[in-house]
Amino acid sequence: MTAAPRRGRPGYDRTQALDAAVAVFIEQGYDGTSISALAEKLGVTKSALYHHFDSKEAILAEALSVALDGLDTVIAAAEQAPGSALDRLTHAMTEAVRLLVREKASVTLLLRVRGNSATERAALERRRDFDARVAGLVSAAQAEGSVRSDVDSRTAARLLFGIVNSVVEWYRGDDAEELARDVVAIGLDGLRVR
């Protein structure tokens, strides 16, 4: 996490320029933001932006890689975690919530990607890989009998991560631990008292 850049002040460093660009993409939409509009919004010249990045798509690729690399790390660590398949699934959900709170801007951008460029299509492909690996954890938990089998494993994975991903849309706090506990509680045990 870097400090918010001061608006209108020229001479962002590379990280600040990236953070500021991501904020503009989230506010106005990636497709709706030209490099000219981006430079104007940041109060810098187009050539100042081109000093740091080859293109608008290069900015997007770098911003998305934070979320995508983070998700790779989360799922790889979960797959190798000790314990039951249910423990590994719980691990994936908990670490994903932590990642979403820590890298909210990059994940927000990732969840809005629509596939209109090669960078976006590659990002969607990596998201599909992540989803398939979560479904694999659900399948393994179904096989060990710890998770209900009356819901298709891919559907269950999508619904569980529907809970996780919703966090970027509404969560404004900074207690990722409490949030992760709530997400796991609802996803695994549900809201109903029994």
Residues near its own copies, by CB under 8 A: 26-33, 86, 112, 114, 116, 138, 141, 145-148, 150-152, 155-156, 158-167, 169-170, 179, 182-183, 185-194
Tell me whether residue 47 or residue 192 sits nearer to its own copies (CB atom): 192
| CA angle 30–31–37, rounded 5-degree value | 75
| Minimum distance from residue 176 beta carbon to its own copies (Å) | 13
Which of 4/151 has CB closer to its own copies? 151
Residue 117 exposed, middle or buried by CB count within 10 Å (0-12, 13-18, 19+): middle
Encode burial over 12-42: b for 16+ CB neighbours within 10 A, e otherwise.
beeebbbbbbbbbbbeeebeebeeeebbebb
Least spacing, CB of residue 114 vs its own copies, in Å: 6
Q: Kindly tell me which of 122 and 163 has the beta carbon lying closer to its own copies.
A: 163
Closer CB to its own copies, 15 or 34, in the complex: 34
Q: Please give the structure tokens belonging to residue 77.
A: 């660590």
